[in-house]
Amino acid sequence: MQSIKINTAEGASLLIMGGTIDDIRDKLPASGLFLITDTNVKRLYGSVFPPATVLEIEPGEKSKTLEVAGDLCRQLLEAGADRSSFILGFGGGVVCDVAGMVASIYMRGVRHAFVSTTLLSQVDASIGGKTGVNLGTFKNIIGTFSQPEFVLCDHRMIATLPEEELQSGIGELVKHGAIGDRNLFFDITASMGRIYDRDPVVLGDLITRAVKIKAAVVRRDPLEKGPRRVLNFGHTFGHVLETFYMIPHGVAVARGMIIAAGLSVWKGEMPYSELRMLEVAIAESGMESDYDLPADVINLISRDKKSEKGSVNFVLLRSVGKTIIRRIPLKELGAFVDYYRERRDRSQSV
């Protein structure tokens, strides 16, 4: 087990990597605990839940709505939760996003923490204090920054993860190597078989190294005023693909990373050989990644959180492991999209 601390002016978070439920029992209140989970997680892990009032949501992205968050607040009120209550989000990315948001708005904020059960949430979603729900097809448009007091990542829980969700987590794992650690990137690609075997030791090592990258970024910029934007690598196009094709988040981010790396080459920031390396790594990870961009992609990006006044702060690569942020006018991005779609069509017709 390894602990990583994120201390920020807005709050501190302890990340317990490789621990078990027994490692958090003394961090939970003796009473006033409200546990938010989904029906799948409750079926799998309900027997190890600590004593708590349990509130359930439906699994999946469809639960990331203001209505679900509002309904949870109503249930908390009816169950007698007050300002001294403690919310434990127990689940994957959707549970952590929604439970974190509810904890940050219920009675203007109550204490909260997570038990993170999926690869995607252990490597990204439960870490760093972002909470959020979607508005129609627009991802995470409503949300808050609120650091969980602690996050437990028990890597053995990944054993029960369906393959599609494992692949989603692999996308975010690869992202951390691509933005911050070339050796991690190579180790992830070399360990794909062990990842699919859900080997908790290999997963623990790779996840912990990825989380250290994320923790360092969040410490510098907890509210995403600048440097934290690097964590959005692959997300500008990825979010469009995720909602358009209704595919898992990390799978969409994987394709988004390839397109963003293509843009990096197009803008002369990165050699083509680095793009190929990323393409090969993602192909070898076994996930489907050949999604075309929808025709109105620029219109959709213009309403993304990352767009400001007709431009988007875009995370590009200089090489695998090294990022650069450029402000790109939507018009220029449109020219790249035309080039990208034409090139994809041509390569498909040969």
State yes or no: residue 249 binds ligand GLY (CB under 6 A). Answer: no
CA distance 69 to 73: 6
CA distance 249 to 28: 31
At its nearest, how many Å lie between ligand GLY and the CB of residue 227?
10
Region of 47-55, 113-121, 122-130, 185-193 interacting with ligand GLY (CB under 6 A):
122-130
**Amino acid symbol at 88:** L
Tell which residue, 146, 175, 147, has the closest CA to residue 252: 175
Using CB under 6 A as the criterion, what x/- string covers residues 200-229 for binding ligand GLY?
----------------------------x-
Nearer to ligand GLY by C-beta: 46 or 227? 227
Strands (E), the chain: 2-8, 11-17, 33-38, 53-57, 86-91, 111-116, 133-135, 138-142, 150-153, 307-308, 311-319, 322-329
Phi-psi region of 194 (alpha: psi -120 to 50; beta: other; left: phi over 0): alpha
Q: Which of 56, 124, 165, 242 binds ligand GLY (CB under 6 A)?
A: 124
The residue of the chain with the least Cβ separation from ligand GLY equals 231
At its nearest, how many Å lie between ligand GLY and the CB of residue 130?
5
Nearer to ligand GLY by C-beta: 76 or 184? 184
Region of 31-39, 101-109, 124-132, 198-206 interacting with ligand GLY (CB under 6 A):
124-132
At its nearest, how many Å lie between ligand GLY and the CB of residue 22?
28
State yes or no: residue 151 binds ligand GLY (CB under 6 A). Answer: no
Helix 200-220 vs helix 182-190: angle between axes, to the nearest 10 degrees? Answer: 160
Q: Are strands 138-142 and 133-135 parallel, antiparallel or unpaired?
A: antiparallel
Nearer to ligand GLY by C-beta: 94 or 231? 231
Nearer to ligand GLY by C-beta: 210 or 259? 210
At its nearest, how many Å lie between ligand GLY and the CB of residue 214?
7
CA distance 262 to 292: 13
Number of chain residues interacting with ligand GLY (CB under 6 A): 5
| Widest CA span in the chain | 66
In sequence order, the 6+-apart residues with CB closer than 8 A to the CB of 254 are 170, 171, 174, 234, 238, 282, 285, 287, 289
**Rounded alpha-carbon distances, angstroms, from residue 231 to 53, 201, 252:** 34, 25, 15
At its nearest, how many Å lie between ligand GLY and the CB of residue 31?
32
Q: Which of 4, 99, 231, 282 binds ligand GLY (CB under 6 A)?
A: 231
Q: Using only C-alpha atoms, what is the Rg of the chain?
A: 20
Residue pointed to by tokens 């898992």: 248
Region of 65-73, 114-122, 123-131, 279-287 interacting with ligand GLY (CB under 6 A):
123-131
CA distance 263 to 275: 10
Q: Which of 91, 128, 148, 248 binds ligand GLY (CB under 6 A)?
A: 128
State yes or no: residue 130 binds ligand GLY (CB under 6 A). Answer: yes
User: Which residues are near ligand GLY by CB under 6 A?
Assistant: 124, 128, 130, 228, 231
